[in-house]
Structure 1
């Protein structure tokens, strides 16, 4: 099967680009959902601006159309990530550097072609933006699957020598700032892991973490009040964007005492803390995250630390895994570029005793979310992120329905 043509179009994501530096430093005033103030991260014209995507459609010689979406994370340009992904700026780069590599290409192996595209460079010899590599490789996976009359999950299982397990993967939903109303939505719909919480400023956490403690108590009580079935016991995972480290001056022992309190408040729910510290560099982040893991393990504190900031690429993930810098790693799919890297990252975590969490961002599209589900069922991370958006219902429906359709289809084929 040949690729006959490539068609590009500008699109919207399910959320926004936010200037994380300006938000963390409190350099803004809230005005509805907008942030008033001067942006601090290069490339931003406002602290919050509309998320953009580029859809890549591959027209195959038999008339089928495969597609994927280029998208970048909400906090672009932060923590060592690529800069803001603006469609009008990057569509010409796709046309110049990617399209000639695809038109007329014979589809044989997803892995081979994805790795080739992921290694492409621009006119300055630099790698193409992660969002470009992310979306184009999605389209390639879809194209190979269509050419072989397989699901995308089956292609990954076949090419990476995996076992096909037609079962669900846990879904982790995120509340955004509307922590209570959106938690209600999650509980009613029996989300596996909740609520994320978006504690991205120390004032939201509390100067000594008091606001998060209050929220944990409220959340546990709310689950009991609204749970749709008696045995519903979701995991609790909170993303704190380094604010616990900020509140306790990155003191390992003080952080340990604090998370022990959180674990006691959350019990019997399993507790995970994502991004407990943000140390400003990868080397320091790895060192402190490894010390935090060692401390809580030594003292039998039932908390899972999740690495996120400064863990952006496949090589970063390998370094964090080797150093045991946390118990779980968020594999933030758009940051890794080609989705072949996300596959490799999940498998590497499995091999090195680190829990893989195949994540992403609210600032993706329905298509990138669907393809993430396909990767997850094939590679078996512990959980995936419900995406796109921050409204809970929409992203949860997209991911749940894609997963349930895929699992049902794979079981039907097995029969």
Structure 2
């Protein structure tokens, strides 16, 4: 079944674009917004409305499927593509992108996605958000044309066997790190709470505020969690441990702080995302390796998670090859085509680095559902609840999409088995 049309409609995303550099430099909150001038190119305000592009692909039987172009909350930071402006990029989708893809066989997902991935307009590679959203629509088109799930299409493209149980979902609290986390405890969320520790105020001048919070996590999880609840704590510190302690990261003072985090979290495992941000990929990898070696030598069992400067597929390869992290966040909008996220998860197979299929609160329900299929197809270590910062909505979307898909695949397998048994009996 061929693709007959591709259409782009500017829309909103599930959160906001934030100028991370301005926030790290001390921009103060003014209610929900921030006071001060932006410092990252493209921003008009430190916090501004998130944007998306709704991509509709029309098939020759009249069916229309969707994908959503979206970019991360902290666009333009940490080596990422610039701020994504929907009105600017919509004509690119309806122009050069449509010209390249209309008329192609929708069932050829991988070929179509790779064609998109390799495209350039006026010598420039397509923005990651365009590749991300259009490839989602291509995945949906292939599933529709083949009358199967997006999980199966992705698994066929990657050569994997899909998970038969939901991948553990990672809930993010946003700044409401107490109320939203209590919601997660009640629902038994397996990985939590993110916590958004992106300032000295939130971590404490000596890290004491974060330690107190982790102690609260341990106590409150036991009070509110369901019977047998065994959570994994995952805290994103946005480089703030590096800000308050500084290099070298294998020295006693730093290692002792991680040991204190481990003790505060016990008996539950804890992982720390983005412990430092040193400004470029090479030095970030070196700093992460230094920290990881220091923790291992001291017998401190805290996992560290790569985020800053780990954006593209090539970045993921570099972090994994160097053994720089226990987990790498595969930040789906930053990798471009959604199949590239699946390939990045697969790259972690056979290494001592686990794959966290992440993304951003600033996506949409459509992109979140597409990523749920990538998580199932690759059996990632964990996947992010998204979009938004309210927790409940994103968790519902991602968890339910996985459960729905698993149930459908089981029904279809039972039907296939029954048909096979009937044919065997007739013979």
Q: Please tell me the TM-score bracket, short chain as reference.
A: over 0.9
Distance 1:324 1:30 in 2: 37
Q: Which residue in 2 is equivalent to 1:23?
A: 23
4+ runs deviating over 2 angstroms: none
Preserved contact between residue 107 and residue 141 of structure 2 (Cα < 8 Å): no
Q: What SS does structure 2 have at the residue aligned with 1:107?
A: coil
TM-score normalised to the size of structure 1? 0.98
Preserved contact between residue 202 and residue 244 of structure 1 (Cα < 8 Å): no
Equivalent pairs counted in the alignment come to: 412
Q: Which residue in 2 is equivalent to 1:361?
A: 360
Q: Which residue in 1 is equivalent to 2:419?
A: none
Structural mapping, 1:43-122, within 5 Å:
43-122=42-121
Q: What SS does structure 1 have at the residue aligned with 2:277?
A: coil
Q: Which residue in 2 is equivalent to 1:247?
A: 244
Structural mapping, 1:176-325, within 5 Å:
176-227=174-225, 229-252=226-249, 253=251, 254-325=253-324
Please list every run of 5 or more consecutive structure 1 residues that lacks an aligned counterpart in the other structure: none
Q: Which residue in 2 is equivalent to 1:400?
A: 399
Distance 1:206 1:238 in 2: 14
Aligned-pair CA distance for 1:208: 0.8
Aligned-pair CA distance for 1:160: 2.0
Preserved contact between residue 236 and residue 270 of structure 1 (Cα < 8 Å): yes
Can you list the C-alpha shifts for 1:34-83, whole angstroms capped at 9, x where unaligned?
A: 11210010100000000000011101001111110000000000001001
Aligned-pair CA distance for 1:270: 0.8
Distance 2:193 2:163 in 1: 27
**306-315 or 93-102: which moved more?**
93-102
Aligned-pair CA distance for 1:108: 3.3
Q: Which has the larger radius of gyration?
A: 2
Aligned-pair CA distance for 1:298: 2.3
Distance 1:204 1:414 in 2: 49
Q: What SS does structure 1 have at the residue aligned with 2:37?
A: coil
Distance 2:99 2:186 in 1: 49
Preserved contact between residue 292 and residue 326 of structure 1 (Cα < 8 Å): no
Distance 1:386 1:244 in 2: 25
Q: What SS does structure 2 have at the residue aligned with 1:105?
A: coil
Q: CA RMSD in A?
A: 1.0
Match of 1:146 among 126, 144, 147: 144
Preserved contact between residue 250 and residue 277 of structure 1 (Cα < 8 Å): no
Can you list the C-alpha shifts for 1:314-369, whole angstroms capped at 9, x where unaligned?
A: 00100010001111000000000011110110000113331000000000000000
Aligned-pair CA distance for 1:408: 1.1
